[in-house]
Amino acid sequence: MTYRVELRPAAVRALKQIDHQDRNRIRGAIALLGRTHFPDTSEVLLTVG
């Protein structure tokens, strides 16, 4: 099953400001989320508040 990952305009703008190497790494991680909802390298993020 594949998923569609959508980024808000502010996230797209923020990505453009990130260094090229890091931006490619982040894009790869986002693409991986589209292929599998919980990739092996995923980490649980907790919110406080």
- Predicted confidence band at 45 (pLDDT cuts at 50, 70, 90)? confident
Cα(16)–Cα(12) distance, rounded to whole angstroms?
A: 6
Residue 37: CB partners within 8 Å, gap ≥ 6? 1, 3
Type of residue at 1: M
What residue segments make up the domains of the chain, in order of their start?
1-49
pLDDT tens per residue across span 6-36? 899 999 999 999 999 999 999 998 888 888 7
Q: Mind giving me the DSSP string for the chain?
A: --------HHHHHHHHTS-HHHHHHHHHHHHHHHH-SS-TT--------
The pLDDT of residue 18 = 96
